[in-house]
C-alpha cells in the first residue's frame, strides 16, 4: 500500500474508491504480492529439487487458488471439502496432498477415490489403510519430531514438544511394523511446522529426524518440511532468512545421498508466508466513544471476520485511510459484535473520526478463511486486485 498525493493506493487502485465500490467490511488481495512471495520462496530453495504445496487453509479464495495453479504450485488440503474445491479450480489429483486430523476414515477413502496423495498422521489411520487396501495405496507418513534443541528459542522447541500432530518417536517401531505387515508403500515423510519455527537450527534438526527414518524406508522419495515460515507483521519483526533455512538442509541431504545413493525431493507447505502480506481488510468507523481514559473507535468488522487478534493476540498494523496526515492520537479499535471484541488497543493513529475508513494490514492469511456469521452478520466481500 502506497501513499500517493495524500491518497492510499493498493495495486494501483485508490483504496477509498474500492470501499465506495464494494462496501465495507472488504477483503482486498494484491496478486503481485503473492507472486513476489512465491518467487522469494522458490529462489531460496532453487539449489534443491523441490515442490511447493500451498496450504489452502490460509486463504481458499477461488481467484487466489487459480493464481497458485498458474504459478505451478500444488495444494496442501486438510479436508475433503478443500480437496473438492481444489479439483474444481483445476488442480490435478496428484498435485494435492491430504493431511486429515480426527476425521472419519471414510474421508480418507473418498480422497483415495479422487486420487489424491494421503499424509497419514496416526497409527489408527495407518492400520486401517493397510487392512483396507493391502499396500495398493501409497502414502506419506507424518511424524512428530520430538525435538529438544539447546540454545534455540524456547517457544520453538516448546511448540514442537507440545504439538499433537504426527506419529511420536515412541510409536515409530509400531508404525514400521504395520508398514511391513501390510506392505504399505511410504513415499514421503512429513513434519508439521509452526509459524514460530524460524530458527535454522530447528529447521535442520527436523529434516535430520526425517532423514534418519528415511534410511529405514527405501520407498521414500521426498521429505516434507511443512510450512512454518511466517512473514513479518510489525516493522521491527525479523524477515525470515530463507537462505539460512536452505543452507541448514544442504549438509544432511548430501550426507543422506552419499550414504544411501538416493536423492530426495523436498516438499514445502507454506500458506501464511505466501498470502499474509497480500491481504488488507477495510473497515468503516461508525462510532467514537470515550470510556474513562479510553477513546474507542467502533468499526463494522470484528473477530467474526478477523479472528487472529482474539484467538492469538495477533498484531496487525492499522492505517487511517481517510486522514493519513492527521495528528497522532492513541485509540482502541473495537468491533461490532456483542462481545469483548478489541481488534487493537492503544494504537497511535492519525486522528480517527466517525465515517473514516481504516485498513488492517497483513490480513491475507487466516482472515476470511476463519470468518463466521456470528451475530448473524454476513461474510464480507473479497476482491483480488
Would strands 342-350 and 328-334 be described as parallel, antiparallel, or unpaired?
A: antiparallel
277 within 8 A of 364, measured Cβ to Cβ: yes
Whole-Å CA distances, 361 to 18, 75, 84, 131: 15, 25, 30, 49
Peptide bond into 230 cis (omega under 30): no
Q: Annotate 323-379 with DSSP letters as a single string.
A: -TTSPEEEEEEE-SSSS--EEEEEEEEE---TT-EEEE-S-SSSSGGG---GGGPPP
Closest CA to 195 of 247, 143, 273: 273
Estimate to the nearest angstrom the gap between the alpha carbon of 304 and the chain centroid. 19
Q: CA angle 126-65-242, nearest 5°?
A: 75
Closest CA to 205 of 187, 219, 193, 221: 193
Residue 186 backbone dihedrals phi, psi, to 5 degrees: -90, 110
Catalytic (active site) residue 336: no
Report the alpha-carbon distance of residue 167 to residue 147 in Å, rounded. 13
Report the alpha-carbon distance of residue 164 to residue 51 in Å, rounded. 25
Report the alpha-carbon distance of residue 241 to residue 273 in Å, rounded. 12
Report the alpha-carbon distance of residue 171 to residue 120 in Å, rounded. 13
Q: Which of 162, 338, 348, 376 is catalytic?
A: 338
Q: Which residues participate in catalysis according to the annotation?
A: 338
Amino acid at each position: 500500500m502506497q501513499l500517493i498525493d495524500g491518497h492510499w493506493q493498493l495495486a494501483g487502485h485508490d483504496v477509498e474508491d474500492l470501499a465506495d465500490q464494494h462496501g465495507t467490511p472488504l477483503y482486498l488481495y494484491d496478486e503481485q504480492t503473492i507472486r513476489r512471495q512465491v518467487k522469494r520462496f522458490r529462489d531460496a530453495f532453487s539449489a534443491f529439487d523441490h515442490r511447493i504445496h500451498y496450504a489452502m487453509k490460509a486463504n481458499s479464495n477461488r481467484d487466489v487458488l487459480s493464481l497458485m495453479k498458474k504459478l505451478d504450485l500444488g495444494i496442501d488440503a486438510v479436508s475433503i471439502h478443500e480437496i473438492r474445491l481444489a479439483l474444481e479450480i483445476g488442480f490435478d489429483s496428484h498435485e494435492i496432498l491430504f493431511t486429515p486430523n480426527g476425521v472419519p476414515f471414510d474421508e480418507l477413502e473418498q480422497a483415495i477415490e479422487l486420487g489424491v496423495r494421503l499424509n497419514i498422521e496416526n497409527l489408527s489411520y495407518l492400520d486401517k489403510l493397510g487392512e483396507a487396501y493391502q499396500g495398493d495405496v501409497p502414502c506419506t507418513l507424518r511424524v512428530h519430531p520430538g525435538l529438544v534443541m539447546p540454545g534455540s528459542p524456547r517457544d520453538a522447541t516448546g511448540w514442537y514438544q507440545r504439538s499433537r500432530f504426527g506419529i511420536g518417536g515412541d510409536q515409530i517401531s509400531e508404525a514400521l511394523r504395520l508398514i511391513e505387515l501390510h506392505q504399505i508403500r511410504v513415499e514421503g515423510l512429513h513434519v508439521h511446522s509452526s509459524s514460530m519455527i524460524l530458527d535454522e537450527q530447528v529447521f535442520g534438526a527436523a529434516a535430520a529426524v526425517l532423514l534418519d527414518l528415511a534410511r529405514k524406508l527405501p520407498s521414500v522419495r521426498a521429505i516434507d518440511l511443512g510450512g512454518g515460515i511466517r512473514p513479518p507483521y510489525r516493522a521491527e519483526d525479523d524477515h525470515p532468512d530463507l537462505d539460512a533455512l536452505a543452507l541448514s538442509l544442504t549438509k544432511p541431504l548430501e550426507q543422506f545421498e552419499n550414504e544411501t545413493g538416493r536423492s530426495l525431493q523436498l516438499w514445502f507447505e507454506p500458506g501464511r508466508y505466501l498470502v499474509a502480506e497480500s491481504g488488507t481488510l477495510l473497515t468503516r468507523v461508525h462510532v467514537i466513544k470515550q470510556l474513562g481514559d479510553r477513546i474507542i473507535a467502533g468499526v463494522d468488522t470484528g473477530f467474526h471476520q478477523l479472528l487472529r487478534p482474539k484467538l492469538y493476540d495477533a498484531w496487525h498494523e492499522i492505517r487511517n485511510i481517510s486522514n493519513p496526515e492527521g495528528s497522532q492520537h492513541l485509540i482502541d479499535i473495537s468491533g461490532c459484535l456483542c462481545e469483548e471484541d478489541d481488534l487493537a488497543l492503544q494504537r497511535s493513529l492519525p486522528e480517527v473520526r466517525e465515517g473514516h475508513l481504516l485498513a488492517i494490514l497483513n490480513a491475507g492469511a487466516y482472515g476470511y478463511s476463519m470468518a463466521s456469521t456470528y451475530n448473524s452478520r454476513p461474510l464480507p466481500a473479497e476482491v483480488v486486485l
